[in-house]
Structure 1
Amino acid sequence: MDMSIMKLFTKTMPFFITRIFIYGIFGLAALIFLGIMVAIGFLVVKMFGESSGAFLIVMLIAFGVVYGALRFVERYVLYMIKIGHVSVIVELLRTGKIPEGKGQVAYGKEQVTTNFGTANVAFVLDSMVHAAVRQIQRWIMRVGDMFSFIPGSKNVIGIINAIMSIALNYIDEAIVSYIFVRKSEGRDETVWKSASDGVVLYAQSWKGILKTSVGSVIFIYLFNIVVFLIFAFPLMFLSKMVTSNTPDAGFLFGALALIGAYVLTTLLKRALIDPLVTIAMIRSYQINIRSLEPAMDLQQKLLGVSSKFKNLVNKSKQEENSAV
């Protein structure tokens, strides 16, 4: 069922609300922490003067702590929700509905546990798929370099490579969606086998997915620029007001305002835009691989060009042998 991106967005709204809630709590905590670090930095400026590198060290520590905490939240809190969202998208694309009597988030978590056992298995598999696709994309672009003798083709290949590199952050979830499709079809195969076949199918159909990738990357860039400016101007104005009596600290607090704008933009992007682009990539992937079977000759070629893909295939064989 070819459900539109916006319809998938509205039908899976509970996942967006959950993400907004979690990122909102994190953002509030991050701003409070940054506020405390600002106060410490202000004292440092008062005590040692603007020329002291201590303020810069305090700000670097603050940024490092916030970034590290964000990675922790995404790895141990949000990952199950993200993959659960993938399972619901697949079900909606297949049947147009999900089983009644269950909340979407609860249903998605249940699907992850049923198909992967634990979120940790899904995370490890996702990481392996991501690494394999990265190597395969580089190989695809190197093949494209053969046409570099055509005027302007090198620039085009470079642009495509940059677009696919950014889109890679969402393609691994699209490939993971293939695992849910195979399970829903009742296929008796390991998730590692489904994932390796999903990678091959991506290599077969990447040209068809490119249009979605281009649109997604343009959308991401425009969103980041516009939202960053929306946050940056009022924060810069606030920092100017705060430092009106201490002009020497103006530059330092202005820099902090830009960091704050970047953090808020990143949180809003990850809460709203990342799952929306994931929907677009999954939909495009599923449409483009429809009726395709993994090409064994291409699989053999990929084994020779990607060590990460070979690891994925070997893991699949190990799991199949242990199940016998």
Structure 2
Amino acid sequence: FRATSIFWGGAAGFGLTAGVLYFLREYILYMVKAGHIAVLVELMDGRSIPEGRPQIEYATQVVRDRFGAANVLFAVDQLVKGVLAAITGIVQGVAALVPIPGLQQFIGIIRAFLRIAVGFVDEVILAYAIRTRADNPWAAAKTALVLYGQNYPAMLKNAAWLTIITYVLAFLVFLVMLAPAAAVVWVLPGAWSAGGFVFAILFAWAVKVALIEPFAIACMMQVYFQAIEGQEPDPVWEGRLSAASKKFNQLKDRASSWIGHKPSGEEGPAAPSTPPA
């Protein structure tokens, strides 16, 4: 009876937490994810956070200046993820034309990795809008996606490797934490036999999200900004994305109809030579 109660209690708690996170996803993306990207962009460009101002407050203001509201940021992020999926499809289609034995299987493996790595790459696209101090987030995302597409060999390779490294490190953390987690469960009254395993998983996942993923995102941002340095969007790639992705066309439509807002200040990083749109 106790095991059954624990199971259903845990399942109910997990479901409730997942539901709350689902409904708060816009706020979480706006306050945490994008703010984190804004701070990373500042540090990568050699800029420091203004003295006497909390880091979270400054990062939130930078994001608000670029996107205006959480719902805009969330909508941009969702369209970006859809276009990234289309880019991997284009790459797989090109590979199908190359008569190399086993190439399709290899591309299929890479695509599976990239489905997991989209969470890294879409943050890089958002970073472009922040770094270029774009007034039109839709146009900035469109330009960033075209630049990503025309540099796909380097980006896909790094995304795949970083995904592997991220999960390998998380698995190592899980193995390291098995023994202490089991010890903690053992000393608890009415110890649960599977508790050590569950606690080790939770700790490994927390370390992955808090430490490993930010490192991977910073690496992806560095590779991306180095790859696009001095480049202009290729009309050929824009045409490919328009033909392959409805979400890219939605992005273009919203970029054209964007009225915009007046930023509260221009404290963000200096814009690089590549125009945002």
- TM-score > 0.5, shorter chain as reference: yes
TM range (shorter): 0.7 to 0.9
Unaligned runs of 5+ in 2: 262-277
Cα-to-partner distance string for 1:12-33 (whole Å, 9 max, x where unaligned): xxxxxxxxxxxxxxxxxxxxxx
**Is residue 266 from structure 1 mapped to residue 216 from structure 2 by the alignment?**
no
Question: Which of the residues 213, 216, 220 maps onto 2:159?
Answer: 213
**Is residue 164 from structure 1 mapped to residue 114 from structure 2 by the alignment?**
yes
Cα-to-partner distance string for 1:127-174 (whole Å, 9 max, x where unaligned): 221122122222322322333x42232332123212322221111111
Cα-to-partner distance string for 1:88-107 (whole Å, 9 max, x where unaligned): 3333434x113633343322
Aligned partners of 1:222, 1:201: CA distance in 2, in Å?
Answer: 29
Aligned length: 261
Deviation at 1:236, TM superposition (A): 3.5
1:97 partner letter: R
Aligned partners of 1:303, 1:157: CA distance in 2, in Å?
Answer: 22
Classify 1:238/1:90 alpha carbon distance in 2 versus 1 (closer, same or farther; 3 Å): closer
Aligned partners of 1:78, 1:267: CA distance in 2, in Å?
Answer: 17
**Is residue 204 from structure 1 mapped to residue 150 from structure 2 by the alignment?**
yes
The residue that corresponds to 1:318 in the other structure is 257
The residue that corresponds to 1:275 in the other structure is 214
Deviation at 1:305, TM superposition (A): 0.7
Cα-to-partner distance string for 1:226-265 (whole Å, 9 max, x where unaligned): 111223333345545668xx8xxx8xx3334433322222
Aligned partners of 1:210, 1:136: CA distance in 2, in Å?
Answer: 10
Aligned partners of 2:55, 2:260: CA distance in 1, in Å?
Answer: 35
Deviates more, 1:96-105 or 1:124-133: 96-105
In the alignment, is the contact (CA less than 8 A) between 2:181 and 2:197 conserved in 1?
yes
Classify 1:119/1:98 alpha carbon distance in 2 versus 1 (closer, same or farther; 3 Å): farther
The residue that corresponds to 2:83 in the other structure is 132
**Matches of residues 63-74 of structure 1 in structure 2 within 5 Å?**
63-70=14-21
* Structure with the bigger percentage of helix: 1
Classify 1:283/1:72 alpha carbon distance in 2 versus 1 (closer, same or farther; 3 Å): farther
Cα-to-partner distance string for 1:204-241 (whole Å, 9 max, x where unaligned): 11212234323312221222111112233333455456
In the alignment, is the contact (CA less than 8 A) between 2:121 and 2:159 conserved in 1?
no
Deviation at 1:71, TM superposition (A): 5.0
Classify 1:99/1:63 alpha carbon distance in 2 versus 1 (closer, same or farther; 3 Å): closer
In the alignment, is the contact (CA less than 8 A) between 1:86 and 1:177 conserved in 2?
yes
Classify 1:321/1:92 alpha carbon distance in 2 versus 1 (closer, same or farther; 3 Å): closer
2:229 partner letter: R
Deviation at 1:280, TM superposition (A): 1.0
Classify 1:65/1:215 alpha carbon distance in 2 versus 1 (closer, same or farther; 3 Å): same
Classify 1:146/1:84 alpha carbon distance in 2 versus 1 (closer, same or farther; 3 Å): same
Cα-to-partner distance string for 1:304-323 (whole Å, 9 max, x where unaligned): 1111111111111222599x
Classify 1:154/1:78 alpha carbon distance in 2 versus 1 (closer, same or farther; 3 Å): closer
Aligned partners of 2:113, 2:169: CA distance in 1, in Å?
Answer: 16
The residue that corresponds to 2:12 in the other structure is 61
Specify the SS of the correspondent of 1:151: coil
In the alignment, is the contact (CA less than 8 A) between 2:42 and 2:49 conserved in 1?
no
Aligned partners of 1:321, 1:74: CA distance in 2, in Å?
Answer: 23
The residue that corresponds to 1:113 in the other structure is 64
CA radius of gyration, larger in: 1
Aligned partners of 2:234, 2:208: CA distance in 1, in Å?
Answer: 36
In the alignment, is the contact (CA less than 8 A) between 2:42 and 2:48 conserved in 1?
yes
Unaligned runs of 5+ in 1: 1-43
Aligned partners of 1:242, 1:114: CA distance in 2, in Å?
Answer: 50
Aligned partners of 1:234, 1:65: CA distance in 2, in Å?
Answer: 28
Please give the TM-score of this superposition, normalised by the length of structure 1: 0.70
Across the aligned residues of Structure 1 and Structure 2, the Cα RMSD in angstroms comes to 2.9
Classify 1:297/1:77 alpha carbon distance in 2 versus 1 (closer, same or farther; 3 Å): closer
